Chains A and B, each alone.
Chain A
């Protein structure tokens, strides 16, 4: 099972600040996802990223969000100007195996916007 780590485990920020959440896949993978889960709610898809381009995004993933893989290893989610409603667990996942693919999730980053 591929291992995915995420940093930080918990991030507290003030409204309007920028945050960067990081995902580090241990092995070499090309297809990544970000999901989020607001406390007590469902896990929601944000964006998928393949070969350094956005493959698919949800309505949640507006202009305040961006993703990149700056050094060919880390995979980041940036929120430019955080809002209170951005408080959630953010999960990175990677696609692995052969078709039909499985997704393996990281432990998540808890983002708290005050």
Chain B
């Protein structure tokens, strides 16, 4: 089973920041937090990952709390094309991915 808890759905206005929370209270010291998304039954798309420091790339930012029990994925300026299911996944970095149900993000005009 997935080791993460995410809200079922969230809404965001186009152009605003989307902040997607994830709880992973049982994360182990050597496990990373990964985020993927899936746009309408397409293959999951890698977004970002982190261990304990905040991370940023061209797609998003990842904020991990100091105790590593939760994290937030930030899409700074959401567009309609960001409408997707977002998955927060805890993984050792070697292992297979265990997907949960994720958060359905709906970006509206």
Contacts and interface: CB of A to CB of B under 8 A. Distances in A.
B99 A43 contact: yes
B96 to A, nearest CB: 4
Contacts of A33: 96
A45 interface: yes
Size band of the interface chain A makes with B:
20 to 34
Interface stretch (B11-19, B21-29, B39-47): B39-47
Mostly helix, strand, loop or mixed at chain B's interface? loop
Contacts, number: 53
Interface stretch (A14-22, A69-77, A104-112): A104-112
B8 interface: no
**Among A33, A37, A100, A107: residue with most chain B CB under 10 A:** A100
A93 B43 contact: yes
Mostly helix, strand, loop or mixed at chain A's interface? strand
B93 A44 contact: no
Given A48-B96, A100-B32, A43 B38 contact: yes
A103 B87 CA distance: 13
Interface of A: 1, 4, 33, 35, 37, 42-45, 48, 56, 89, 91, 93, 99-108
Given A35-B99, A89-B41, A100-B92, 15 more contacts: A35-B97, A42-B100, A42-B101, A43-B87, A44-B99, A45-B98, A91-B43, A91-B44, A100-B32, A100-B94, A101-B93, A103-B97, A105-B44, A105-B45, A108-B42
